[in-house]
Amino acid sequence: MTRTVYLNGEYLPEAEAKVSIFDRAFLMADGVYEVTSVLDGKLIDFDGHAKRLERSLNELDMPKPKAFDDLLEIHRELVRLNGIEEGMIYLQITRGAPDDRDFVFPDPETTEPTLVLFTQNKPGLANNPVAKKGIKVISIEDVRWGRRDIKTVQLLYPSMGKMMAKKAGADDAWMVEDGFVTEGTSNNAYIIKGNTIITRALSNDILHGITRAAVLRFAREAQMKVEERNFTIDEVKDADEAFVTSASTFVMPVVEIDGAAIGGGVPGERALRLREIYLEESLKAAV
Ligand code: PDD
């Protein structure tokens, strides 16, 4: 079955959806995005993603596409048209395509934003067998720009980080700035010491994960202590458990960093429990 995607008001077969070579995202990485997961054919935390998207647009002074208020309907229609039970919806908004390359932002009166959405079918996403053995990470220097709270499509360094991890025989990389972990290449990073979850506090240094917000809420409800503070790689090596969160991995245990086993090298019981709670509770609230 060929995938049906959405581009600027139209549902099209993927091969027919074309964007101009002058699009600002293509030339300047001038675009923002969201990834929303789908479980049981329903959207997980749609409102959270829509709010963060609006914030990203505001921070960059990027106009909203005309269809902004119809985004829920568009997500649902793509799920329906592509028969998605488990997977993700990728959404991207760019500052549009003026008729030439120019550093100066185009006039929003004459250049409309580009809006693209497509589905990614991932059967078995909730029951991902990787969660049972956990993932290995390496640490790398965080050399990204200073506004990581905005979800832009400037993903070259995260992409290089994944390649560095792959070369080192690991699955992902945790980034470190001034001696402290910021986040994973495409996820938020946590350690657990005793009954306490430790994760970096929200600031411009990291993406304000939608999964993070939910998981920390569930952790507090489950009587776990949450400390939002900086932590070092030495603390990670010494932790009882570690994990990452994101819309595509939910809660994923981390069992090794830079070749050193964390918590005996197997997924921790608290991380696995948080994964269960997260999946259960977000499914109940899915739309
Ligand atoms: N990435 N930090 C970074 C740098 C991310 O790219 C992501 C998400 C997160 C987690 O945010 P959330 O819980 O809202 O998914 C944290 C998405 C999944 C991606 O780029 O594919």
Task: Output the pLDDT for position 1.
Answer: 76
CA pair distance 40, 249, nearest whole angstrom: 16
Which of 247, 200, 217, 207 has the alpha carbon at shortest distance from 45? 247
| CATH tag, 4-121 | 3.30.470.10
Question: pLDDT (tens digit, 9 = 90+) per residue, 247-285?
Answer: 999 999 999 999 999 999 999 999 999 999 999 999 999
Please indicate whether residue 125, judged by its CB atom, sits closer than 6 Å to ligand 1: no
CA pair distance 154, 33, nearest whole angstrom: 10
Please indicate whether residue 213, judged by its CB atom, sits closer than 6 Å to ligand 1: no
* Third-level CATH fold of 130-285: D-amino Acid Aminotransferase; Chain A, domain 2 (3.20.10)
User: Closest ligand 1 atom, CA of 90?
Assistant: 21
The 8 Å CB, 24+ separation contacts for 163-168 are 164/138, 164/140, 165/137, 165/138, 168/138
Tokens of 25: 């995202």
- For ligand 1, atom 11, name the residue with the nearest CA: 209
User: Closest ligand 1 atom, CA of 248?
Assistant: 18
Residue with tokens 């005793």: 194
Which of 66, 29, 34 has the alpha carbon at shortest distance from 53? 34
Task: Output the pLDDT for position 253.
Answer: 98
Task: Output the pLDDT for position 81.
Answer: 98
Q: Which residue ranges of the chain lie beneath pLDDT 50?
A: none
**Which listed residue (42, 132, 151, 193) is catalytic?**
151
Q: pTM surpassing 0.95?
A: yes
Residue 151 bears catalytic tag: yes
Domains of the chain: which residue ranges? Answer: 4-121, 130-285
